[in-house]
Amino acid sequence: MTAKKSALGKGLGALIPDVEVKELEGVKEVDINDIFPNEEQPRKNIDIEKIEQLAQSIKEHGIIQPIIVKKEGEYFKIIAGERRWRAARLVGLKKVPIIEKEISEKEAMEISLIENIQREDLNPIEEALAYKKLIDEFGLTQDELARRLGKSRPAITNSLRLLNLDKRVIDMILNSDITEGHGKVIAGIEDKNKQYEIAIKVVNEGLNVRQTEKLIQNLNNIKDKKEKNNTKDIYIKDIEDRLKNIFGTKVNINKGRKKGKIEIEYYSEDDLQRILDILNL
């Protein structure tokens, strides 16, 4: 048991090399009511079914891994192990094993994030929000965050992109209507309403991520072509208006990539002769 406690004490420092974790005491038991959850805990959605499964395991085997806490006044704030604490309360335990650590709020947040990521407890949005919090509030760069979490910088960047999604699309990810992969592809679109429209199309047509990429690529091609044509129309329309004033009739210019065609309408033989006279023909 002593060896196991020692391994637990070393584990947190090993997870975050730049964090010096000072263990104040070994494993001890405290009143479960003297412990409270961390409001900054990255996981917001608690899976009740998983808590009940963990509670059953604790009922049969006890709490194998102590809860990691930080002393605050007369109470202890959970750094890692909130699910164990909740399951223990569900079972009705009066006391639970803890390991008290002396760490900063930033370090506590990092440890909580890492534990949840390693346990795969965070959904993609919670994970992205946790990354953003570490970057915004604790001054970590994406490179530093990637290094500490053992991830690539592109993985961090792509995760953060999910936060650019329309709230309705974020809710669809949270509800598992679309996947994280879909979200990352859709996040490339700036228009929030268009994001939602595409997400609905993904659900209705059962599109996979690759098909969604193709859909967005086609939409972007159409948009680029339309914008290009609109730019041409301003120039062509001006010429058409000038020719219309000269000939006193409708003029259409159909411009291709390298060549085009000018159409001058006339409505009778006399009208045609009038136009020819203007051209000195």
In the residue annotation, 107 being an active-site residue is answered as no
Give alpha helix (H) positions in the chain.
Answer: 2-15, 48-61, 82-91, 105-118, 124-138, 142-149, 153-161, 167-174, 180-186, 192-205, 209-247, 269-278
CA–CA gap between residue 231 and residue 216 (Å, rounded): 22
Range 84-91 contact pairs with CB under 8 angstroms and sequence separation of 24 or more:
84/54, 84/58, 85/32, 85/35, 85/37, 86/46, 86/51, 87/51, 87/52, 87/54, 87/55, 87/57, 87/58, 88/32, 88/55, 88/58, 88/63, 89/32, 90/51, 90/52, 90/55, 91/55, 91/58, 91/59
Residue 183, helix vs strand vs coil: helix
CA angle 116, 121, 125 (to 5 degrees): 95
Distance of CA 75 to the CA centre of its chain: 35
- Per the residue annotation, which of 23, 25, 72, 82 is the catalytic one? 82
Reported as half-sphere exposure (CB side, CA atoms, 13 A), residue 2 has a value of: 0
Are 100 and 25 in contact by the 8 Å Cβ rule? The answer is yes
Largest CA distance in the chain: 110
The residues assigned a catalytic role are 82
